[in-house]
Amino acid sequence: MDRSEKGSLAEVKHVVLVLSGKGGVGKSTITAELALALIHAGKKVGILDVDLCGPSIPRMLRVGKPEVHQCDAGWVPVYADAQQQLALMSIGFLLEDSDEAVVWRGPKKTALIGQFVSDVAWGELDVLLVDTPPGTSDEHLAVLENLRKHRVDGAVLVTTPQAVSTGDVRREITFCKKTGVKILGIVENMSGFVCPHCSECSNIFSKGGGEELAKLTGSVFLGSVPLDPLLAASLEEGRDFLQEFPESSTYTAICDIANTLLSSLDA
């Protein structure tokens, strides 16, 4: 077995892309919370953050800016927990200054994504979640190209309820079909607002757009996640929302989505 095989995805059971045609719908939020839910279900999880211009995962999981080390098999991922159940790799770990802008042309982005896929020593993982930027651009094509020699289980698509978002996600569905990526399901994020005082959920935007999109496109609807101030605060501060608020409806929504996804992967 050569270095690229040892240092890449040979021991990763499932690879799942997190996609959306729209920016600001909460792909990184869903990625982070799915990872935490899977860990609480006893799984070993990795997150590959390929949103090169806006890496949010390091902050959301409060890992700061650790040094990335190398071993014989490649780059050693950064672990977000002492038990080493959650492994991470992000350009956020490689920037000298967190405020530094990544002003790169396509070829340089493609080269780094290639390194992330082939040169990170992930080791044994039950699920690797790939957090992507919005759209259907160079980064997405680079990820798929570099993953071709490995099995990609499929993609979770994230949308908000409004038609302007679901319209863009339709294009992402077309992208998946053109590139042969299986759609594992659609998540409707920011579906209602949970009052921090009484916990009642109000539909301040709209509701049901993601579920309707799933019906129209013949996709699985994984579930809805509301706008929850407690979840937002947890992500801002890098705390584990699922551990701290197990009685909340948002906790139930996230865990149900993670369990449905897990059942689909293990089927």
Query: How confident is the model over 191-243, as pLDDT tens digits?
Result: 988 888 888 888 877 778 899 999 988 999 999 999 999 999 999 999 999 99
Query: How confident is the model over 240-255, as pLDDT tens digits?
Result: 999 999 999 999 999 9
What is residue 96's predicted lDDT score, i.e. its pLDDT? 72
On whether 26 is known to bind a ligand per the annotation, the reply is yes
pLDDT band of 6, cuts 50, 70, 90: very low
On whether 123 is known to bind a ligand per the annotation, the reply is no
On whether 208 is known to bind a ligand per the annotation, the reply is no
Tokens representing 258 are 């993670």
Q: How far apart are the first and last CA of the chain?
A: 29
Query: How confident is the model over 136-172, as pLDDT tens digits?
Result: 777 888 888 888 778 899 999 999 988 888 888 888 8
On whether 22 is known to bind a ligand per the annotation, the reply is yes
**Bridge partners of residue 189, in order along the sequence:** 225
Q: What are phi and psi of 87, to 5 degrees?
A: -100, 140
On whether 198 is known to bind a ligand per the annotation, the reply is yes
What is residue 105's predicted lDDT score, i.e. its pLDDT? 75
Interstrand relation of 70-71 and 74-75 (parallel, antiparallel or unpaired): antiparallel
What is residue 3's predicted lDDT score, i.e. its pLDDT? 42
On whether 195 is known to bind a ligand per the annotation, the reply is yes
Q: Where do the H-state alpha helices sit in the chain?
A: 3-6, 27-40, 57-60, 106-119, 138-147, 163-179, 209-217, 229-237, 241-244, 249-266
* pTM of the full structure: 0.91
